[in-house]
Every structure is written in C-alpha cells, then in structure tokens.
Amino acid sequence: MALDDATLVVRARDGDTHAFEVLVRRYQGPMYRLALHMLASRGDAEDVVQEVFLTAWRRLGQLRDGRAFVGWLYRTTTNRCLNIIRARRPVTEADLDRRESIDAAGSPERAAQVSEQLIALAAALTRLTPEQRACWLLREVHGLSYEDIAGATGTTQTAVRGRIARARAQLAEAMSPWR
C-alpha cells in the first residue's frame, strides 16, 4: 500500500529514513527533469537535485503541512535553478534524454526530424528569460497549476500567466519552421 506524501513527511520528520527515501524515489525524477530543462546541463541538474533533497531532509521540521511537500520541492528546485542561471550564461546542451520520443517516432527519417525539433526547442528555451522558462516548464512539462507555479516562483498568478503567454509566443515563433 502506497502512503501519501503527508504521512511520509510526518514519518520522515520523526526520523524515519525509509519514509524519506520513498519521497526521494517518488520525486527525484520530476525534479531532475525540471532542473535539466532549466539548466541544459546534466551535471548541474544532478547537483541541484542532490542539494534540494539534502535541504529538504535538513529542513523537514520547518514544513508545517506535509501535503505541501511537492510544492516545496518544486519551489526549492526552481529557485536553485534560477540562481544558477542568473550566475552564469545558459549553455545549450543537446538533451539526449529524448530517446522516448525518438523511439516512438517510428521511421529513421521521422526520428531524425523529431531529434532536430527537440534540439531546436532546447535552444529556443535557452533564449527565454529564466523566469519565463521556469513558468513554461512548470506548466507545460510538469503540469502544475498557475497557483502552484506562482508559489514555486514566488510571484503572482497574473505574472505567471503573462510569463507563460510571452514564452509561448516566443517558442511558437522559434518553432515556426517546423510547422
């Protein structure tokens, strides 16, 4: 029987390392994908995820509502990524984690086209502002609500909607050759 996040957080707060391991296994993949898409660097993404979960373990006692754990992870991951982006110029790295899309594409010609599209999308994402990129990824890739994105990025829902709209417009223009 799978336990819910709130129960696992309470148990982890009481020192149950197994409960925390379950939370890590449950959410390390989504946090890694978010960090990878934001930073375009596997090494940086791995470092961020490791730091986020270490911070979560150390500060678990500060989390008052166990149901807020996932939002807390998204907010912490997003903020760490934004700090790294602000500290350096983003570097485009071809995301080799697109095998699922390529394998599903069928023919080699279609696989090559999908690969080129994903590389173009990754490059277009690096041209967005860090805030736009974070909002777009949290919405389109991770499926978060505007309210959750506002909480994760420390802004208002109106600002989130605006950033996503601008990101969508820029990405649509950048991807227009692929239509």
Q: Are 44 and 84 in contact (CB under 8 A)?
A: yes
Q: DSSP letter for 78, please.
A: H
Lowest mean pLDDT among 18-22, 32-36, 137-141, 164-168: 137-141
Stretch 97-107: mean pLDDT, rounded? 50
Q: DSSP letter for 89, please.
A: -
C-alpha closest to that of 57 among 102, 118, 14: 14
Please give the Cα distance from 125 to 106 (Å, whole number): 26
The pLDDT-based confidence of 165 (bands split at 50, 70, 90) is very high
pLDDT at 91 over 50: no
The pLDDT value recorded for residue 89 is 54
C-alpha closest to that of 152 among 171, 133, 169, 125: 133
Q: Are 72 and 56 in contact (CB under 8 A)?
A: yes
pLDDT at 93 over 60: no
The chain-wide mean pLDDT, for the chain, equals: 85
Q: Are 66 and 10 in contact (CB under 8 A)?
A: yes
Please give the Cα distance from 102 to 34 (Å, whole number): 20
**pTM here?**
0.66
